[in-house]
Amino acid sequence: MPSPVKALLDANVLYSNHLRNLLLQFAQNDLFDVRWSERIEQEWLGAIEPRTRDRVAMLYRP
C-alpha cells in the first residue's frame, strides 16, 4: 500500500547523489510518495556535470 505521506524534493536534495538515492529508495519502499516539479528538475539537472546529467535524466522521472 502506498504511503499517504507526500514529499516534495527540492533541487538541493536532488543534487547530492547519495541523498537522492537514499530518498528515492525510501520512496520505492513506500515510506513516502516523492514528487518534484519540472522547474526543480531543470534546476538540479542544470547544476550537475553534463555526463552525469544525461545518465540521471534517463533514470529518474517522478
Tell me, yes or no, whether 13 lies in a domain.
yes
DSSP 12-47: HHHHSHHHHHHHHHHHHTTSSEEE--HHHHHHHHHH
Residue 61 has pLDDT above 80, yes or no: no
- Nine-digit cell at 32? 513516502
Give the domain extent around 39: 6-59
Tell me, yes or no, whether 1 lies in a domain.
no
Tell me, yes or no, whether 10 lies in a domain.
yes
Taking the complete model, does pTM exceed 0.85, yes or no? no
Tell me, yes or no, whether 20 lies in a domain.
yes
For residues 48 and 17, the answer to whether their CB atoms sit within 8 Å is: no
Considering its fold, how many domains does the chain have in total?
1
Tell me, yes or no, whether 52 lies in a domain.
yes
Report pLDDT digits (tens) over 5-28: 999 999 999 888 899 889 999 999
Tell me, yes or no, whether 34 lies in a domain.
yes
